[in-house]
Amino acid sequence: MRLIVITYFAICINRINAFVPWRPNTSDFDPNTLHSIEASSHAVRRHKLRIAHASAKFERRTGTGKLNAASFSPLTRREDKTSGPVDLYSDPNDISYWVNVDVGSSGKSFRLVVDTGSADTWIPSAECKSKSCLAHRTFGPDDSSTLHVTSDRTFAIAYASGNVEGYIAKDTLRFGSVTIDKMEFGLAKMVSDDFTNFPVDGILGLGFPSASILKVPTFIESLISHNVISKHIFGAYLHRTADNKNGGTITFGGIDASRIEGGVEALKYYDVNTTTSLWSIRMSDVVLDGQNANFQEGRNVIIDTGTALILIPPEDALKLHQFIPGTKSNGETFYIPCNTDISLQFQFGNDAYQLSGKDYVGDPIDAQKELCLSLIVGRSVVRDGAWLIGDVFLRNVYSVFDMENGKIGFGIPVPAVRASSTSMEAFPSSSSDAVSDTIKTALSPVSTFATDDGVILNLIVHTA
């Protein structure tokens, strides 16, 4: 059995947060001033595209509405259920976590988003001539003598202002010294131009097989069928650049106990609603500065590493922001004072996890840096009103995704180690609680370490 630990890249979000019940409104300031600020703010435009990314992905799957770019207005309230511009966009002020994957006989390298909200893996085809494909690495027969494309097996994934369409392909994928021969993935011959500025080339899907649109073995299933790992489990810890630490770690086939306060025994597990084909669990409530928001009967939440924000129904977003003084709102978007410092906790069962203000207070939208974007957005993206919880929350926990037992686990993360060194503990396939000798070494671009229980693979930390 092998245990893979991949250290990957982060482009970050930053800032801080404050409290006392307050009803967000626009009556106490000049709305024309806010509209003017929004219209000229690059931060607001980036924010809208991040919202479109998440909502398009999940609205497409759950059928909450037809995706239509023309229906998106960045400055007015959405009265219908249609989505915004396009699914994927990022820049140095956004956030995205990705791994380097070498594909084909030539080992051409691609950056793939680590995405628990998707089950499919795809990269752009050399046939694709869109602006987006010309801005990214593409893949075709000239790049690999072992590439096999099945032209009669096609796929189409709908996004907000276009589709990703292509063929099912088969070739070798490599993570350092770990090789997956003849893995099936999507080779996209058409990719929306809205992907142009996204700093990655494609997606590495870590969702449930039943959620696959390509209908091929997922990446996790391929790791198992190639005897790289023996368990459908992985653990993730996302660093934040506000703490001067980029990237993070993802462990396939086990858990990195060195990242968890109290080790694996301190992890708390929650049942996944497997009928949704998503990483969905039940949240009991949210506590703000010691006061319960009182979400009756709790909420279903989808845990998604591929989403930067937290997207929740408008009425829930309004309720949360009432606890933040100085909040202003414009439709689904909320603006909060940049010096906000509200204590915010998410409760799962009897367990509470603190959300840092470094994560939910976004970029300033004015030159004085007095008003900042709230990274909690009032948009419903799932039919049953579930919350979509992304990296804003996940940077505050160590997360375990256990597909075999239908569980998600959270633990309190220990402070991230510097990129110059790492300390890890491997787990054998027979038990996720057993611990091998700790390995301490300087990170080289690619390094593999054998232990009695398996192999740990380290890939370089990437920084923008």
Which one of the listed residues 304, 316, 359, 453 is annotated catalytic? 304
**At residue 416, does pLDDT exceed 80?**
no
Instruction: Identify the pLDDT of residue 67.
Output: 27
**At residue 322, does pLDDT exceed 70?**
yes
**At residue 293, does pLDDT exceed 50?**
yes
Pull the structure tokens for residue 5.
């630990």
Query: Considering only 106-120, 226-240, 440-454, which range has the smallest mean pLDDT?
Result: 440-454
Q: Is 359 among the catalytic positions?
A: no
- Under 8 Å between Cβ of 189 and 165: yes
Confidence of residue 296 (pLDDT cuts 50, 70, 90): confident
456: β partners: 449
Instruction: Identify the pLDDT of residue 163.
Output: 74
Q: Is 304 among the catalytic positions?
A: yes
Q: Give the integer Cα–Cα distance in Å for 402 and 265.
A: 15
What average pLDDT does the segment 84-92 reach?
26
Instruction: Identify the pLDDT of residue 196.
Output: 80
Confidence of residue 140 (pLDDT cuts 50, 70, 90): very high
**At residue 159, does pLDDT exceed 70?**
no
Structural domains for the chain: 34-54+256-411 (2.40.70.10), 86-252 (2.40.70.10)
Confidence of residue 35 (pLDDT cuts 50, 70, 90): low
Which one of the listed residues 115, 359, 391, 402 is annotated catalytic? 115
pTM of structure = 0.78
What average pLDDT does the segment 42-64 reach?
57
**At residue 303, does pLDDT exceed 50?**
yes
Query: Considering only 144-153, 244-253, 254-263, 374-383, which range has the smallest mean pLDDT?
Result: 244-253
**At residue 398, does pLDDT exceed 80?**
yes
**At residue 23, does pLDDT exceed 80?**
no
Confidence of residue 178 (pLDDT cuts 50, 70, 90): confident
Pull the structure tokens for residue 167.
């063929």
Top pLDDT among 212 and 69 is at: 212
**At residue 133, does pLDDT exceed 90?**
yes
**At residue 215, does pLDDT exceed 50?**
yes
**At residue 429, does pLDDT exceed 90?**
no
- Under 8 Å between Cβ of 334 and 284: no
State pLDDT tens for residues 228-277.
888 899 998 888 766 656 677 888 888 888 889 999 999 999 999 988 88
Instruction: Identify the pLDDT of residue 227.
Output: 87
**At residue 168, does pLDDT exceed 90?**
yes
The pLDDT mean for the chain works out to: 74
Query: Considering only 9-13, 65-69, 126-130, 328-332, which range has the smallest mean pLDDT?
Result: 65-69
Collect all residues with Cβ–Cβ distance below 8 Å to 30 and sequence separation of at least 6.
none
Instruction: Identify the pLDDT of residue 424.
Output: 36
